[in-house]
Structure 1
Amino acid sequence: MLVAAPASGQGKTTVAAALARLHARAGRRVRAFKCGPDFLDPHWLALATGHPVHNLDLWMTGEHDARARLHEAATQADLIVVEGVMGLFDGEPSAADLAQRFGLPVLAVIDASAMAGTFGALAFGLRHFRPGLPWAGVLANRVGSGRHAQMLREALADDEAQFLGAVMRDAAFSLPERHLGLTVAAELPDALARLDAAADALARTPLGQMDGAALVRWSVSFDAPAAAPAQAALLAGKTMAVARDAAFCFIYPANLDVLRALGAELVFFSPLADEPLPACDAVWLPGGYPELHAGALAAATRTREGLRAHAHAGRPVWAECGGMMPLFDHIVSSDGEAAALWGLLPGQVLMQKRLAALGLQQLALPAGTLRGHTFHYSRCETALAPAQRTEAARGGAGEAVYRVGAVQASYFHAWFPSSPAAAASLFIEGGVA
């Protein structure tokens, strides 16, 4: 089932995670995916299922990769939940494109808190806007009362049977947000309790009362994909140090899988805890929230000196988005407060009150082209000239890629499975021209 909505903010993540949690609690094997590029919603879906959550996007991850992951999940699971992105038809490609390509029945989640009859118009439009869209039904979210729920059901004059229930408005299972999206589940001590409360609410709906046998009517068959070509172990014998903590938490599990498949041994360290850089051949600084932890990162002298020594020795560093930001001399908050950071790149990063960039991108390297995306609320001021730029998916210049010695940094978030050879080249001395 693909959980979609008419727009962002309707409660897709809550419903998708609640559905997954409800069936996982019942002992069923559940796998979840996230449509489009996203680091935050998968944390909640992983908590609900107990399994890593991968992304599906017909452009960034590609149809072959998506088909292979769906097929593998189908061999292991009783239920697959795919959370959509933005509105059902938003983006190129959209969640609707994914649903049609793989025959995923769409569950439309609509925030009905300020409507009655219009609920029926929205549901009708979502269902019929594109001919041939696989359809499961519609779920009303943030409903005020039993009478309100009845009015919403009656609004589906064309087919009340598609009404899969109403989830009442309740702060007990709201998922808190901040400027890049939902708060990471691991940062909330009551995260699982919130999911259980949402699952309990969903259990009171017709959708939530369906068991495995009832869900069979929406079953989908995923053909086995063609075998992928064997990947050379380009990082065999290499030790990769990966920053991972609350400041560096934007990590696609698939990226870690690729590095291991390339032969790398992964070791993790926490700059927030000022852990020394482990002995390694290369470093990956993934994205995250360094701006929320600028003071702690400024005081992380052991981490800073280890990175400096590593870079001065000519060993590779790949830093993306939030991983790049602390490499500059300063981070300046949106209120104008500056924190001195690690100084591996000249210049400063300035936080913005509004989104600075968003979109699918690709980075062409001699070994291949990496696909990915950009999404950030800051901008760089630096005397460095970009060594190259990414390209936007729809054409045109994208993000700058900076290179100082063996350090390479960009706002670009790479999806390593799109070109394992290109990903490997980021972490090999002299691997990128």
Structure 2
Amino acid sequence: MSTTHTFRGMNTTEHHFELPLDHARPAGEKITVFAREISSTKHEDPAALPWLLFLQGGPGGKCPRPASLTGWMAEAAKTFRILLLDQRGTGGSTPANRQSLPLRGDAAAQATYLTHFRADSIVRDAEAIREALGIAKWSTFGQSYGGFCTLTYLSIAPEALERCIVTGGLASLTADADTVYRATYRRMAERNTEYFDWYPRDRQVLGEIVAHLAHTEEHLPGGRPLTVPLVQMLGQFLGGNTRVHSLHHVLEGAFIDTPGGRRLSDSFLAAVAEQADRTTNPLYALLHESIYAQGSATNWSAERILEEFPAFSPTATAPLLTGEMVYRWYFQDDAALRPLEETARVLAEHDGWEPLYDPAVLAANTVPVAAAVYVHDVYVDRELSLHTAAAVGNMRVWETDEFHHDGIGDEGAMIFAKLLEMSNEER
């Protein structure tokens, strides 16, 4: 059953699809996948427009909940009907979190269930939805992890695709998790240097915070003890285009004088809590390393590779800030993840991951693909992305140093328009 609303210049229709948990067993267990259709009221007949499927970043992130047409969506709505897909386990789809996963049974059963939540299953969900909506072909727009899903889509069902647009999401087709994290740590170290060159005083403040925590107990607003690794998670700001400068506002107000002496301020503690919270997207922590896994276990890759980069060690005097890495302590420290600690261990040790990409099919690809590769992207390495671009047929790349990983959050309309035009160019 679908429900339609019209407000602030857009039509929205909510769709719920009953799909197989395992597409190899279509008669087996079913899950619900939610998607929201968006179109502009400026079109007399939105039903006549071609479709654009948006593949969200993540893993484990729900699609945007637009209250009006802005940014890339406003630009896309000039040409397309947009389908915002809540990838399985997220948003309005059947949930997968600390509350629902125990229904599966023990940790092994939960982990087995979650092996069906990677890009290959997401793409097969999309294919089932496309067929259910009676769409012959559609275009896709993949941001970050959505670009990973795009490469899987091009591997599995290229005949369903009119064109593909990718921003900050050309995954390596062959690199294992260790290779990816080595590149990530190097990029993050460079970004730390860049940031602290802009704001030298912030490096001193970070050292003061680390020294303060060595002798003073602090707690986040929900009561969670503050640790140095939690402070390091502020490095997620560094992946931003303009958002990076918001980190300075956090650090400049880190301390406050109180009757009990100098303490970390409530505003600082709230900022750390916001970056550290995985309550709404636990799949990010559970499945993040698996998006790089093909045929072998990841075995907590980011944590192991950390040993090769001692400047990121929490025992350093002023440790570098981390980014999109996942560590075992997440599942010991975070109340939203703690019940899933054993499930996370089983997933980290799982060595039966299926291939996500078909290099031969991608090399012969004829679907027009236009991809933005961000030179200084700290999360999707430029060199690995360009290697992938060279291995995929009919791909055009716009390499730019103007934006970072979340560029579409700042200049989404321009970026989308440029890539759409590139995808329409004759090869």
TM-score scaled to structure 2, two decimals?
0.25
TM-score scaled to structure 1, two decimals?
0.25
Bigger helix share: 2
Bigger strand share: 1
- The one of the two structures with greater contact order (alpha-carbon pairs below 8 A, sep at least 6) is 2
